[in-house]
Chain A
């Protein structure tokens, strides 16, 4: 089973709203990722969590706040977003975060399509 689930599937929010995206996996993976994908573009990495600790922040604006409450769950808290933040937000996970001794595959969820008005 290589399933990563994401909720909600779609989200519409105003620029003053606060909302959260949720990602879950029950594969025992210890690395989890958030990507942002604009239309007709490749996914771009936002954050990486390794063993529930933030290990990479790709200079993402502070209006995006990730959280990893436990090894199965990854949240992305959204606040004061801009219309240009509208995109497909993809979560991924891999079994082992340390690439020096592992060549793991990242498995992606179906994504949350976000529209900021």
Chain B
């Protein structure tokens, strides 16, 4: 079965500094990986996805993610953090048990950006 792991419950970073939110995956076959962000009392917003192609994927709000096959990682990055980036971030992998998309989410990482 497909799975993703987010090893950090919380990441703290100062505004203006680069941020990284970690995700590792375990899949059979080609990995289809996603990052979503959830603000308090809100639904999930899609940030970016990796399907095939370039290992560096650019997404919304200045976020990007680097797919690393040898390390089975898909870390989310941003060169300069904003206080407004503070939220809960979920990495997800697409499973395909019955020919229909199923997203498996990691446990989430809370990002706190301090002014």
Contact = CB atoms under 8 A, between A and B. Distances in A.
B43 A98 contact: no
B25 interface: no
Nearest to A106: B103
B interface bracket (residues with beta carbon within 8 Å of A):
20 to 34
Interface stretch (A13-21, A48-56, A60-68, A72-80): A48-56
A50 B43 contact: no
Interface in A2-46: 2, 4, 6, 31, 40-45
A42 B105 contact: yes
A42 B43 contact: no
A109 B103 contact: no
B99 A43 contact: no
Query: What 4 pairs between A and B have smallest CB-CB spacing?
Result: A42-B105, A108-B44, A110-B43, A108-B43
Given A97-B101, A105-B34, 4 more contacts: A4-B43, A90-B43, A105-B49, A110-B42
